[in-house]
Amino acid sequence: MQRVLEPEVMDTAEEADGYDSMDHSEPNANFVARLIELGARGRMLDIGTGPGHIPLLVCERIPSARVVGVDLSKHMLRHAERHRLGSRFADRIEFRLADAKGLDFADGSFDCVYSNTILHHIPDPRPFLAEAWRVLKPGGVLLIRDLFRPSDLERANELVRLHASGADEYQQGLFRASLCAAFEPDELRALAREAGLAAEVTLDTDRHMSLQTRAKR
């Protein structure tokens, strides 16, 4: 199946509200568990934080974590700030409006850089990957997880039935579009090499893959 692009920024109130209301608890918990397994700690950058669900989990599970979450969608950040203010981790999290392809941080600013499911939104993600690598401290943890593209539309529809049966029609459509916009594992490996990243690609579930590095002690 050929890649079918979707909008780079989910910046309407409907998109942000719909995404925030979806149940991402299981994949988010698995994502944070992987961060812990890789040795994530200290100052962390969440690129494409969306409604800010993951920084809350990170701060709950990793006592040393302080998270800066960035996103290009003002509507997503509105939800993220609401969640931050309602949490007990408000003083360990901050959110900023920023473009993943051009980050306003110095080289090596973060002990950990992570991103969850924004890769498929970017037509050419090499600048994003290069920026994530640039702001990561040498020997730090990188975790970029995304969906991977199914072989055909029939398989995409099967994944929607398996994992979004309880969602409404609009939310199922968002998930299907994301699957169709995602990269294949070999495509991600090639993009990472071209962007200068020394990281491995792993297949995590029937729909998720990760580009990752472990902490060097």
pTM, rounded to two decimals: 0.93
Residue 5 in domain: no
Place of tokens 């969602």: 167
Minimal CA–CA distance to 148: which of 177, 184, 172? 184
Residue 57 in domain: yes
Q: How many domains does the chain have?
A: 1
- pLDDT of 208 > 80? The answer is yes
Local confidence band at 22 (pLDDT 50, 70, 90 cut-offs): confident
Residue 7 in domain: no
Mean pLDDT of 121-137: 97
What percentage of residues in the chain have a pLDDT greater than 90? Answer: 86
Residue 3 in domain: no
C-alpha–C-alpha distance, residues 182 and 210, integer Å: 12
Tell me which residue range forms the domain holding 47.
Answer: 13-213
Rg, C-alpha atoms of the chain: 16
CATH code, 76: 3.40.50.150
Residue 53 in domain: yes
The CA–CA distances, whole Å, from 12 to 40, 48, 53 equal 32, 15, 18
